[in-house]
Every structure is written in C-alpha cells, then in structure tokens.
Amino acid sequence: MVPANDFHRQWSETSGDVLDAVRAVGESGWYVLGREVEAFESELGEFWGLDHVVGVASGLDALELSLRALGCKAGDRVLTSPISAFATVLAIVRLDAVPVFADCDDTGLVDLDACRRILEDDGSIRYFVPVHLFGQALDLEDLRELKARFSLTVVEDCAQSIGASSRGLATGTIGDAAATSFYPTKNLGALGDGGAVLTRSREVADSLRVLRDYGQARKYRHTTLGYNSRLDELHAAIMRRAHLPRLRGWVDARRHVADTYRREIGSPHLRVVPGPPGSSSSCHLFPVQVLPEHKADALAFLRDRGIGVAEHYPLPQNEQEALGQVAWRGDTPRAAAFCRSEISLPIHPYMTSAEVRQVIEVCNSWRP
C-alpha cells in the first residue's frame, strides 16, 4: 500500500526530538500560553517573513478570528473560493457574514478574473478569503491589484501553502492576515490540532491575542467576547523543536515527488492539474483529473492496486448540505465540474522512490 501520508515513518525520524520537546514542557510546569508558544510564534514569523504570529487552536479559528479582528461582522459579504476545506466557509458563516463564491479556473483555485467581475457588480463586498489550494500560490501581483482596486480586506487561507510563493513572494504576505493550520496532514503539522495567524500589523496581532484568550486584555479584564482558542505549549514545542527545523527539507521532498510525477505521468486519460503562472507550490497535494464519468472507476482501479488516493474535494463548499441553512451567493459550475473530476495522488516527505514509481506505473496503466 502507498499511503497518502506516512506518520509512522515521520515518527521514527522525529520521535527523539518530539520526546525531548514533551519533556521540556513537562518539566517547565507551564502548559498554556507560555514561552514555548512565544518562541514558536517568533521562529515561524522568521521562517515566513512576517512580523507578528499568533498561535490559535486550529486553522478554522485562525480564519474566523482574523476576519473578526479585521472588523468583519454579521451581514458583511465575503468573497471566497468554492473549492476548499469546509473550514474556509465555516469561518465566514460563524460570524454571520455572507459568503460569496467566485468560480475556479482550470487550476481549481479561485479565478481572480471572475473575482474582479463580481467585485465590479457588487460594490458592497469588502472582504476576500482567497485559498492557496493544494499548496499552489495564487498570483500575488493580481491579488495585490485586486485588493487595492476594490479596497478589500484580505485574509489569505494558507493552510495548505506553508512554503509556497508566487514569483518569489511568499503566500500570506499580500493580505492583511494569513491563516494557517497545523492539522497533522498539513506541511507543518502538529500531533493534533493547531493553527496560527500571521500579519504585519501589530494592532491586528494584539486584537488576536485578546480574542484567543476569552477576550481578556489583561487577566480577568474582558474587553470583548472572545474565544478559547489557544495553541498548546506542547504543540508549539513539538513544532518548533522537531518539525519546523525539518520543514524546508519536507517541502523539498514533496517537490521532488511532484517533479517526478509531472515528468513521468504521461497518460492521455489523466490530466495533471497545473498551478497558476508563477506559482512555486508547497506541494501539499497533487491533484489530477479524469473525466467525471470515469472517476469512480479510476479511484477503484488505483485503490485496488495499493495507491492511497483521496479527493480534494468531492463537493464544492457551496454544495454542502449545511450551507442550505445560510444565505450565500454565487454560481460556480466550473468548480462543480472540477470536483467531479479530481483525484489526489499520494504525496508526502517520506515517500520512497519505489512508491513514487508504483504510483506512476499504476496511473499510466489505467484505461477508462
């Protein structure tokens, strides 16, 4: 079996450092919002090139708290991508804001031209949550222009894009805030849940620190109705001591797998999904497409031959049953078609070349 992720191999390489991190936190006697979180925030900021980092409990919280810190409130319209983890839209609707979906292009990422048309038609949209899906970077120059032209407040969803850049600019550096996730499968995963917001603005970072801790500006002085959304010392320590130092190497290893796939998958029945021009992907996922009518057969064929394929995502966010309960706007036929055709091949830093070879051979031998 070629798994989609291999945490056993990761653990056999990292366990020494992880256990040292656990011991350090245990011995410190301080388990929530202490030195480890601070040190991790500062090192992640250095890695990313952003001044302020605020650790929170999940990627979903990173998105919701960022939007709230940036003033998004009930009834505000928030433009976003139809294809993403459901957390993206959930963050918007949890604030009682109204999601507006722009269609995707042939990369599966949100189409910035479609966004421009929607923004021209509806001058009331002030927020945008673009998703750097699969680890591919949206064109950040286009994003910057869109932000300026329509005075948008932008929260970049970077849950999949740690390590990705667009023509040398890191994802997350154009928006007012970048939200990321440390869910275990992400490029920088914890051994559990976690997330962070990165921003250039001290003010936004300060409000996030208040929001994540019950809305207290200082101990027992609550200035706003906040959340319990704190990153654990334990996870901060594990990521800083064991995972962050390996992150560049992990992204390189993912890129090596992706490059090999791109070079050697040559089936006429299978489209390797390209990234936007100028994107240097973090290779979080490796999507390919087949004709929608062949997808079930292709998935079964690949699985029967031991390939741990997945789908990102089988349904766009705006077709999820839960969204039937809230107001939203947008018509996204291309996203619907993309989801019906997408298959994610295994990609992770611990894949062996024999596994990569097996995936390529099985892909190239599939016939509809």
Ligand X SMILES: *Cc1c(COP(=O)(O)O)cnc(C)c1O
Using rule CB under 6 A, residue 342 touches ligand X:
no
Q: How far is the CB of 236 from ligand X (least distance, A)?
A: 15
Q: In the complex with ligand X, which residue's Cβ is closer, 301 or 346?
A: 346
Q: How far is the CB of 110 from ligand X (least distance, A)?
A: 11
* Per-residue binding letters, 225-244, with ligand X (x by CB under 6 A): --------------------
Q: Which residue in the shown chain puts its C-beta closest to ligand X?
A: 59
Using rule CB under 6 A, residue 159 touches ligand X:
yes
- Considering only residues 53, 56, 60, 210, which one is a binding residue for ligand X as defined by CB under 6 A? 60
- Considering only residues 183, 286, 328, 338, which one is a binding residue for ligand X as defined by CB under 6 A? 183
Using rule CB under 6 A, residue 195 touches ligand X:
yes
Using rule CB under 6 A, residue 160 touches ligand X:
yes
Using rule CB under 6 A, residue 58 touches ligand X:
yes
Q: In the complex with ligand X, which residue's Cβ is closer, 133 or 343?
A: 133
Interface stretch with ligand X, choices 9-17, 56-64, 135-143, 295-303 (CB under 6 A): 56-64
Q: How far is the CB of 19 from ligand X (least distance, A)?
A: 24
Size of the site for ligand X (CB under 6 A): 15
Name every residue whose Cβ is closer than 8 Å to that of residue 129 and which is 6 or more positions away in sequence.
63, 67, 78, 79, 80, 81, 88, 91, 92, 154, 155, 156, 157
Using rule CB under 6 A, residue 157 touches ligand X:
yes
* Per-residue binding letters, 83-102, with ligand X (x by CB under 6 A): -xx-xx--------------
- Considering only residues 5, 107, 181, 187, which one is a binding residue for ligand X as defined by CB under 6 A? 181
* Per-residue binding letters, 117-146, with ligand X (x by CB under 6 A): --------------x---------------
Binding interface with ligand X (CB under 6 A): 58-60, 84-85, 87-88, 131, 157, 159-160, 181, 183, 193, 195
